[in-house]
Structure 1
């Protein structure tokens, strides 16, 4: 697979990375299957694994911890805090370390900062950013990150305020049409040397009928890597095949793809860009 630089960290990762949200009972993936899928991914060169304590109440983290065993040093492990306070975030980190069976996290991420108000809470005295800085100073985490699904202006403000090593943002082809991280965020992140990880590649399954095109679109963006959720060996192998044969989309291919999917640009489909998850109304910028 093509390898790309991870911002200015000196690291490189394949264009396909592993979103671990789906290797859980909730997505009909058993523990045995999860361990097999994760180890197959590592065997095939995938080294970047993204999880969070909120994914199935910690089951995602637990299964990654069991899967890695003696392979911990072979992977770049990312987890998150959804708490907006210092104390709450440090408690989450301690719990994550236990479930992941490790004494360090390669990257710790503020999870889904949707609004400026949430960003302000994280940056305020006693906010979650204090926890990130303390954990890095103590060597418990190696690098710091922030994620956002909704409003690129929030993440733009975040990287102006603090030198995050990376960002995780929504970069499906359907995201192109409104609150576009591709248009508004990627140029500034590149200017600052901040690594960008793409997510929501299949738009919660709505782009499944255009499976290969959806992956190729996101891979074609100027990003470091894209995380894709995989709950079966079949999905992993399919994604690996596309990643290994990847060629960038041409402008004409991209335009034709957009014409096929523009009808998906509504808040019932792009729920992460709605005012609330199921509101049916677009998010409105402050």
Structure 2
């Protein structure tokens, strides 16, 4: 496994990190023993950065990680998060995470899901999230304060230039890189460690493998290999978080981390020419938009809408019908309360997309 320095922390981090958001269910339940096997195997193959969070996998992810940590023999680092703006609530969440995972400290503690500059400012107020995390660091409960975001490149640049954080986790992949590259470079130049999430576009890249085949290089067997290698080959990126829901995925991803060649500049230019501005508006399937008061499965509608963005409007209805078993007419139950849009980390126009999905549906 190749290792990179995480910013100025002095820590050597595996170029492939384990993202704890994609553990599979078996018969509607999480099998802790089975899920922990994936984590332990990744550690055996050299992975030493394990990313989790409260709420991941129906709030089971931290517990699964804890189960695995007891069996791991190689050194490792733990990343978790809290989205609370209120300092008292953040402290409670931190203490819960420590207790759940039986840890004395969190190595990389993220101020989670900063949506925009106003949201960032709300975390930095007196008595707020950052001040509380800083106090916890002084107590030895946190080793490094970091942040996670889906902000634009310009917004990320503003945040990192204020110098409050040692690292960041950012949504970055072969689809959206032109839109966040500025922020990535700014963080790197400021000396931050950088973890990237959603390297497969929330699963969109393998789902649309034929469409995205142009990203493959001569040595790439699949578009998955190409997408992960794309992120990992960046000098700026310390570790690429890969969700691993099977032993095959663990082995495949770790192989990528064993040998990397920097992406050819000509190939990068070729890829960029194939991209267009609306591709940054693809839903990545993070599912923060869920829990609609009308029971609309919003994330499934948004993932289906990706087909329209990629030029196949009929695909919306095929995906809804055959992939999810959803009637498109459910989109018409939206009451435009805005809850989903406020939660969306990518600021997608969810309400108008639901309306369009309903209106276009009569054609298919």
Q: TM-score, normalised by structure 1?
A: 0.88
Question: For residue 256 of structure 1, what is the aligned residue in structure 2?
Answer: 270
How far apart, in 1, do the equivalents of 2:93 and 2:73 lie? Answer: 20
Deviation at 1:68, TM superposition (A): 0.4
Does the C-alpha gap of structure 1 residues 35 and 277 become closer, same or farther in structure 2, counting only changes over 3 Å?
Answer: farther
Larger Rg: 2
How far apart, in 2, do the equivalents of 1:35 and 1:97 lie? Answer: 18
How far apart, in 2, do the equivalents of 1:100 and 1:72 lie? Answer: 16
For the 8 Å contact 2:150–2:346, the answer to whether it is kept is no
Does the C-alpha gap of structure 1 residues 280 and 273 become closer, same or farther in structure 2, counting only changes over 3 Å?
Answer: farther
**Which of 188, 191, 197 matches 2:189?**
191
Question: For residue 76 of structure 2, what is the aligned residue in structure 1?
Answer: 75
3-state SS in 1 of match to 2:68: helix
For the 8 Å contact 1:24–1:59, the answer to whether it is kept is no
For the 8 Å contact 1:77–1:107, the answer to whether it is kept is yes
For the 8 Å contact 1:23–1:30, the answer to whether it is kept is no
3-state SS in 2 of match to 1:63: helix
1:167-186 to structure 2, matched below 5 A, reads: 167-177=168-178, 180-182=179-181, 184-186=182-184
Question: For residue 52 of structure 1, what is the aligned residue in structure 2?
Answer: 53
Of structures 1 and 2, the one with the larger relative CO (CA 8 A, separation 6+) is 1
Segments of structure 2 that go 5 or more residues without pairing to the other structure are 210-222, 286-343, 354-364
Report whether the alignment pairs 1:7 with 2:7: yes
How far apart, in 2, do the equivalents of 1:24 and 1:99 lie? Answer: 20
Does the C-alpha gap of structure 1 residues 72 and 54 become closer, same or farther in structure 2, counting only changes over 3 Å?
Answer: farther
Does the C-alpha gap of structure 1 residues 171 and 279 become closer, same or farther in structure 2, counting only changes over 3 Å?
Answer: farther
Question: For residue 127 of structure 2, what is the aligned residue in structure 1?
Answer: 126
Question: For residue 243 of structure 1, what is the aligned residue in structure 2?
Answer: 257
Report whether the alignment pairs 1:21 with 2:35: no
Q: Deviations over 1:3-32 (max 9, x none)?
A: 111111111112111111112539976212
Tell me which moved more, 265-274 or 82-91: 265-274
Question: For residue 34 of structure 1, what is the aligned residue in structure 2?
Answer: 35
How far apart, in 1, do the equivalents of 2:149 and 2:100 lie? Answer: 24
Tell me which moved more, 39-48 or 18-27: 18-27
For the 8 Å contact 1:175–1:270, the answer to whether it is kept is no
How far apart, in 2, do the equivalents of 1:78 and 1:152 lie? Answer: 23
3-state SS in 2 of match to 1:244: coil
1:134-145 to structure 2, matched below 5 A, reads: 134-145=135-146
Question: For residue 200 of structure 2, what is the aligned residue in structure 1?
Answer: 202
Question: For residue 227 of structure 1, what is the aligned residue in structure 2?
Answer: 241
Deviation at 1:277, TM superposition (A): 7.5
Deviation at 1:56, TM superposition (A): 2.8
How far apart, in 1, do the equivalents of 2:44 and 2:251 lie? Answer: 12
Segments of structure 1 that go 5 or more residues without pairing to the other structure are 282-286
Question: For residue 284 of structure 1, what is the aligned residue in structure 2?
Answer: none
Question: For residue 275 of structure 1, what is the aligned residue in structure 2?
Answer: 347
Q: TM-score, normalised by structure 2?
A: 0.70
Question: For residue 101 of structure 1, what is the aligned residue in structure 2?
Answer: 102
Does the C-alpha gap of structure 1 residues 32 and 71 become closer, same or farther in structure 2, counting only changes over 3 Å?
Answer: closer
3-state SS in 2 of match to 1:17: strand
Deviation at 1:147, TM superposition (A): 0.8
Question: For residue 159 of structure 1, what is the aligned residue in structure 2?
Answer: 160
1:211-226 to structure 2, matched below 5 A, reads: 211-222=224-235, 223-226=237-240
